[in-house]
């Protein structure tokens, strides 16, 4: 399968992980849209939220808790967690990922909802 995030996870593409464990990895977005922009990615290849099954509840919860822990590590008081879902939802990489965006000065994070 030609999936760039699977290649990153399998270490076929050198990428620094800010966090990794048995089920998720997290790394910096190559084209950051915010001062702090990380992607939290399950090791399992799930195409998108559209393809979620009931047995994925645990991994979705894990993605959110991992993002929360990274945000706390950076001392973020506020941030955005974003899933782009399908092409119409702006998803480009077909391997499920949660965007953690933050680090704006003032209240810049209030715009672009």
Annotated active-site positions, please?
97
* Alpha-carbon span 4 to 23, nearest angstrom: 17
For ligand AMP, how many residues bind (rule: CB under 6 A)? 12
Count other Cβ atoms within 10 Å, centred on residue 24: 22
Residue of 26, 70, 76, 95 interacting with Zn ion (CB under 5 A): 95
* Alpha-carbon span 111 to 9, nearest angstrom: 32
Write b or e for each residue in 64-88: b if 16 or more Cβ atoms lie within 10 A of its Cβ, otherwise e. Answer: eebbeebbeeeebeebbeeebeeee
Rule CB under 6 A: say whether 47 interacts with ligand AMP: no
Which residue, 54 or 83, has its beta carbon nearer to ligand AMP? 83
Non-local (6+) Cβ contacts of 77 within 8 A are none
Instruction: Considering only residues 63 through 92, tell me which ones interact with ligand AMP, judged by CB under 6 A.
Output: 84, 90-92
Which partner, Zn ion, ligand AMP, none, binds residue 3 by CB below 5 to 8 Å per kind?
Zn ion
Rule CB under 6 A: say whether 93 interacts with ligand AMP: yes
Shortest distance in whole angstroms from residue 29 CB to ligand AMP: 5
Q: Which residues bind ligand AMP (CB under 6 A)?
A: 4, 15, 27, 29-31, 39, 84, 90-93
């Amino acid at each position: 399968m030609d999936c760039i995030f699977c290649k990153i996870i399998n270490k076929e593409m050198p990428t620094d992980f800010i966090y990794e464990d048995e089920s998720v990895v997290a790394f910096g977005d190559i084209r950051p849209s915010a001062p702090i922009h990380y992607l939290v990615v399950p090791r399992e290849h799930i195409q998108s939220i559209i393809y979620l099954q009931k047995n994925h509840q645990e991994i979705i919860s894990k993605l959110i808790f991992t993002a929360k822990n990274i945000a706390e590590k950076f001392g973020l008081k506020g941030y955005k967690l974003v899933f782009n879902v399908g092409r119409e939802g702006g998803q480009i990489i077909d391997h499920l990922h949660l965007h953690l965006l933050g680090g704006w000065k003032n209240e810049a994070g209030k715009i672009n909802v």
